[in-house]
Amino acid sequence: MNKGFLRGLEMGALIYDIGKIYIPAEILNRPGKLSNYEIAMIRTHSEVGFDIVKDIDFPWPVKEMVRQHHERLDGSGYPDDLMDQDILPEAKIMAVADVMEAMSSHRPYRPALEPELALYELSANKNTRYDAEVVDICEYLNRKKGFKFV
């Protein structure tokens, strides 16, 4: 990976969830199970985020990273049901990092889960939902290098 790739990935990682600004805080911060309508609303955040940044001339594919960070290798993601070869490498990295962060962090509807549970989710679904190489690197960083979210 070259420095340009990493700089673009860093920029995408800083703003990938920008579309959540349009989701009412009452939904994002509400404890308890979300309705199907609320889930559908939250799922629009990657498209909304893309719309927010689409006119910015980034030297990297940041707009697509924002749009694709919930796509899954098997086509089960959103918003475009993309499959493996159609998903940017940067978005594959962000997808794994997002799952790791989301599961390991406190949410209004549940306490933070142990990182091992997130690693299990990723490992159980590598090559189907998540890129195997990215999952392996995530596991290495967490298990061998002691990475922790702060």
For residue 79, whether the previous peptide bond is cis, meaning omega lies within 30 degrees of 0, is: yes
Q: What is the identity of the amino acid at 15?
A: I
pLDDT tens profile 46-100: 999 999 999 999 999 999 999 999 999 999 999 999 999 999 999 999 999 999 9
Cα gap 41→149, rounded to integer Å: 27
* Domain map (residue ranges) of the chain: 3-143
Has this prediction a pTM greater than 0.95? no
Q: How many CB atoms lie within 10 A of CB 2?
A: 7
pLDDT tens profile 107-122: 887 888 888 999 999 9
Which residues, in sequence order, are CB contacts of 141 under 8 Å at separation 6+? 147
- The CATH fold assigned to 3-143 is Hypothetical protein af1432 (1.10.3210)
Model confidence at 150: pLDDT above 80: no
